[in-house]
Chains A and B, each alone.
Chain A
Amino acid sequence: MSNGNEALYQQRLARYTAAMRNEKPDRVPVRPFAAEFAGKYAGFTNQQITHDFSKAFEAVLKCCADFDWDAAVGNMVYVWTGLTEAAGLKYYLTPGINAPANACFQYLEPPDEAGAHMKEDEYDALIADPTAFLANVWMPRVSRDVCAPGEPTTFRNNMSWLKGGLAMLAYFQGFGVQHERMRRECGTVPAIMGCLKAPFDIIADKLRGYGLLCMDLYRRPEKVEAACEALAPHMMHYALAGADPDKRIPISLWLHRGSVPFLSPAQFERFYWPTLKAILLELHRRGHQVLFYAEGDWNPNLKYIAELPDRCIVYHVDRGDPFEVHRAVGHKFCLSGGLPNELLALGEPDEVKAYCKKLIDGLARDGGYIMDAGAIMQDDPRVENIRAMTEFTREYGTY
């Protein structure tokens, strides 16, 4: 290991973790969630980085080497479509297969009851035994190859489980190597470790679809609540399985349908928040911090977020007013993000710098702020704007 990069790594780790504790580091850390941007910057198509994770890893390493970022995600595109193809998952639009090679991958939510991955009368089966439901009912429905119990098995069924499992093992082991390379070759800290979702989001994203779930909120609200409660222990166990054993790097939490206008505050309070809050409190009790990626506008829910203990989460701002977030919960949690993605895509470097100044002046005065765009960076930010964000924060964000 290069001593220079190890010293840099330790310096950046100290900076990143101090900010996440809502303390004042030596300067504002820069931690972009750079997804397809990294691939484009490194000269790859979206198909190449989505379908060949070694290229996605290389792209991130190139960004880490070229930009002075404190922390980065080993592969922010994350979904490796080699794996989803091996498992036969049907709910993807995959670049180069059923989408153009330079399109970003997309999820396809069930459009109607006939296409739902969980039918309206299957809540009880999910609640009774979630893992068995997933293996016996959900997987056969979402995979081209997996057979349901009772159906004649097929060669494709058998190979799908085998190839999917081995592919996942290879990919997850690859992440360990990637984190080590980021540290050794670039002195860059992994931004997140482990993954959490809200139980309600899982029902919306992967089981019922958002539209059908909205109907369920009125037709069978008790079932929705019970399903969230049945999923919650599994969500927490999954988050812990990938979490940083040293408890310095936060677990990522990608929030989808809890924001306005997807749910009203009353629906949020009844259906979304109780199980998610319980998971967050338990992770906090165990010493883990969570990166609360508030995708969309979550400001109407800030009064609930404020119920969490100090430093329980790092609150990432996407479309909400970052200054309102700071007034409401800045004394409790580190904030990150808030830089509009459209500015990075369409603005000029001087405009980016001016917005970064506004964010640093408004959010970072007492520490507890990490520079980043509001949303994950797909392939539209201009390179000169990413450079402007990084360099300005370096110069101006010093304490």
Chain B
Amino acid sequence: MDEQQAPMRPPGCCVPWDERRAECGELQGDEEVAQRVWEDVDQLGWLYIWSCLIAF
């Protein structure tokens, strides 16, 4: 099964980096760092919602 099959918001994602990136305009530093940390923290939001559904 391909984890990225979900049509709009893949597993682990609440607000995609692309959506945030479009708001930023020209980045003044390292985009890789900004994207990685955004996605790491974003996953915590996904984990909260899905934990409520699956585990609580």
Contact = CB atoms under 8 A, between A and B. Distances in A.
A129 B1 CA distance: 18
B50 interface: yes
B6 A233 contact: yes
A84 B13 CA distance: 23
Contact of A233 (B1, B8, B44, B51): B1
A128 B1 contact: no
B14 A195 contact: no
A238 interface: yes
A241 B1 contact: no
A202 interface: yes
B7 to A, nearest CB: 7
Contacts, number: 80
B6 A165 contact: no
B17 interface: no
Interface in B1-26: 1-14
Given A84-B56, A134-B53, A282-B1, A237 B12 contact: yes
Contacts of A84: 56
A314 B14 CA distance: 33
B38 to A, nearest CB: 16
Contacts of A132: 8-9
A237 B52 contact: no
B49 A135 contact: yes
Contacts of B4: 233
Given A84-B56, A232-B1, A165 B44 contact: yes
Contact of B54 (A87, A164, A165, A197): A197
Contacts of A202: 53-54
A279 B52 CA distance: 20
Nearest to B55: A195
A195 B54 CA distance: 8
Given A129-B8, A278-B1, A206 B53 contact: yes
A343 interface: no
A83 interface: yes
From A134, A138, A234, residue with most partner B Cβ within 10 Å: A234
B6 A238 contact: no
A128 B8 CA distance: 7
A134 B4 CA distance: 18
B54 A131 contact: no
Nearest to B4: A233
Contact of A234 (B44, B50, B55): B50
11 contacts: A78-B55, A84-B56, A87-B52, A131-B14, A195-B54, A197-B54, A232-B1, A233-B4, A233-B11, A236-B3, A241-B12
